[in-house]
């Protein structure tokens, strides 16, 4: 057995221990390429990370690009890293792999242990080639991110491959070891998400933050991934937090916000409110074929609202049992008792506020970017999954089209991408898509600017 297999077995215990992660946040102007397999290609967790930057740091424009290709292992990432990810000229690159590297149905065959050893060794050797490529780009910031877990423990008859998760843990171990050796950033998704699965399965054996296929996280799982990445970046901060005293007509606290024109009128008060961030909009629909999981599921398993989405309005010395109505820009957004104001109300939970509606527009525009980028990924999928083996990479002439059409008759994945490819094989069309990305981002960084709001808190008759 090769040396790396033995080493990583011992390192699994180190990788599994709970350790705090802290990496530098992205800076204004950064372009970040997330490189991975189908979980990355789906484009959700990257969009959710970028949406946080869009809403929380409206003046810190960054660009996040999806460089995932479904089915990829570390060797395939090595093969396309320079011509795909690095060709974007990013300031930072996030590399993640492991799900496909460890195989699937082979665990139900003969000698699964030997198979796992071979796959882990192969993944390690190809990762070393990636390391060489990254070391050759000294100005590039490198972030190694573990895969989300294969959920081996959920109660489900589908895709059960006993031993796969242990093989994945060995890959997580050597990823972490190499990142430490090279003094690169490392973000662990595997163990925190595995812990969420195991905790949920104590009450419901069928629970999973991954998905019914045990492999691909659903909408909620992708928000958990974003949560873990943002937490690793140390970005826990309120949208805004204000604390007013009705009795003394004073501002006690204004974190990430500015209060002006505070006026007390009998039992009520009014003021101008300018936050420096927008609330983070959380969607409540499922988006993935075959996985009904909603993004809001994440809120049940990670403290996303408490950590990243607090827009706290606190007012002291209102009558505890009196009901008060809150109006923002003349629109009623809810009623609470004075006692609730004394504790603090999280307006980020209220989807009818003008600022939440503004953030919802930003979210829809971010999804538009995801949809455009996914078309670009379909073009690259055809390049690396069809043309590379034909030694026709980026030829894109009529001969290439005919070859791809022939293969797509037998390959459903290729067939599903042919319509996109046949248009995007033209450089002018690809440039148009890149321009669309830039145009939508330009719009986002105009509409994401917080607006000064007029707030009124006034007593209403108790029911």
Q: What is the pLDDT of residues 377-408, one digit of tens each?
A: 999 999 999 999 999 999 999 999 999 999 99
How many angstroms separate the CA atoms of 325 and 12, rounded?
55
CATH of domain 3-13+28-232: 3.40.50.1110
6: pLDDT confidence band, cut at 50, 70 and 90? very low
Q: What is the pLDDT of residues 28-78, one digit of tens each?
A: 999 999 999 999 999 999 999 999 999 999 999 999 999 999 999 999 999
| Averaged pLDDT, 98-103 | 97
Nearest to 303 by CA among 363, 223, 397, 249: 223
How many angstroms separate the CA atoms of 190 and 69, rounded?
20
**CA torsion through residues 13, 16, 19, 22, sign:** positive
Reported residue count of the chain is 463
Q: Find the angle CA(346)-CA(348)-CA(354) to the nearest 5 degrees.
A: 120
- Strand order through the sheet with 311-316: 250-255, 240-245, 311-316, 345-346
> Which pTM value belongs to this model?
0.94
Distance from the first to the final alpha carbon of the chain:
75
Do 231 and 307 form a contact (C-beta atoms < 8 A)? yes
Q: What is the pLDDT of residues 168-191, one digit of tens each?
A: 999 999 999 999 999 999 999 999
Report the relative pairing of strands 240-245 and 31-36 from DSSP bridges: unpaired
DSSP conformation letters of 73-94: -HHHHHHHIIIIIGGG--SEEE
DSSP conformation letters of 346-385: EGGG-TTSHHHHHHHHHHHHHHHHHHHHHHHHHHHHHIII
Domain boundaries, the chain: 3-13+28-232, 240-276+310-463
**CA torsion through residues 327, 331, 337, 341, sign:** negative
Residue in the structure block whose two tokens are 């949406």: 51
- Which H or E element spans position 423? helix 412-424
- Strand order through the sheet with 185-187: 63-68, 31-36, 92-95, 141-145, 185-187
pLDDT at 289 over 80: no
What confidence score (pLDDT) does residue 46 get?
97
Q: What is the pLDDT of residues 245-280, one digit of tens each?
A: 999 999 999 999 999 999 999 999 999 999 999 999
Category of 316 on φ-ψ map: left (φ > 0), alpha (ψ -120 to 50) or beta: beta
The four Cα atoms 13, 16, 19, 24 give a dihedral, to 10 degrees, of 110
């Amino acid at each position: 057995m090769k040396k790396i297999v033995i080493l990583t077995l011992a390192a699994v215990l180190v990788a599994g221990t709970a350790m705090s992660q802290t990496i530098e946040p992205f800076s204004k102007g950064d372009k970040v390429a997330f490189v991975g397999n189908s979980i990355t290609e789906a484009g959700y967790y990257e969009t959710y990370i970028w949406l946080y930057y869009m809403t929380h740091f409206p003046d810190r424009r960054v660009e996040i690009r999806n460089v995932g290709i479904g089915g990829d292992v570390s060797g395939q990432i090595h093969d396309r890293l320079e011509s795909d990810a690095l060709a974007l000229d990013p300031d930072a690159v996030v590399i993640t792999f492991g799900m496909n590297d460890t195989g699937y149905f082979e665990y139900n065959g003969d000698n699964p242990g030997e198979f796992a050893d071979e796959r882990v060794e192969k993944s390690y050797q190809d990762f070393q080639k990636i390391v060489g490529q990254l070391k050759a780009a000294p100005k590039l910031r490198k972030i190694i991110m573990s895969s989300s877990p294969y959920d081996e423990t959920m109660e489900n008859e589908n895709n059960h491959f006993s031993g796969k998760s242990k093989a994945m843990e060995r890959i997580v171990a050597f990823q972490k070891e190499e990142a430490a050796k090279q003094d690169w950033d490392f973000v662990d998704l595997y163990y925190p998400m595995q812990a969420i699965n195991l905790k949920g399965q104590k009450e419901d054996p069928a629970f999973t933050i991954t998905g019914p296929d045990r492999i691909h996280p659903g909408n909620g799982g992708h928000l958990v991934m974003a949560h873990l990445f943002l937490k690793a970046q140390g970005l826990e901060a309120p949208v805004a937090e204000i604390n007013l005293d009705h009795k003394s007509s004073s501002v006690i606290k204004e974190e990430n916000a500015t209060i002006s024109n505070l006026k007390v009128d009998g039992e009520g008060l009014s003021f101008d409110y300018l936050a420096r961030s927008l609330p983070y909009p959380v969607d409540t629909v499922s988006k993935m074929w075959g996985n009904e999981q909603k993004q809001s599921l994440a809120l049940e398993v990670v403290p996303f609202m408490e950590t990243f989405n607090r827009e706290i309005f606190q007012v002291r010395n209102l009558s505890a049992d009196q009901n008060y109505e809150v109006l923002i820009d003349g629109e009623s957004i809810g009623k609470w008792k004075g006692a609730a104001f004394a504790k603090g109300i999280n307006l980020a939970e209220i989807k009818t506020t003008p600022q939440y509606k503004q953030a919802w527009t930003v979210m829809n525009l971010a999804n538009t970017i995801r949809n455009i980028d996914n078309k670009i990924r379909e073009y690259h999928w055809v390049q690396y999954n069809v043309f590379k083996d034909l030694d026709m990479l980026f030829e894109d002439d009529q001969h290439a089209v005919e070859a791809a059409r022939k293969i797509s008759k037998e390959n459903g994945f290729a067939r599903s991408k042919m319509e996109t490819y046949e248009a995007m094989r033209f450089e002018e069309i690809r440039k148009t898509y890149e321009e669309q990305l830039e145009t939508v981002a330009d719009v986002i960084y105009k509409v994401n600017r917080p607006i000064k709001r007029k707030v009124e808190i006034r007593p209403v008759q108790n029911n």
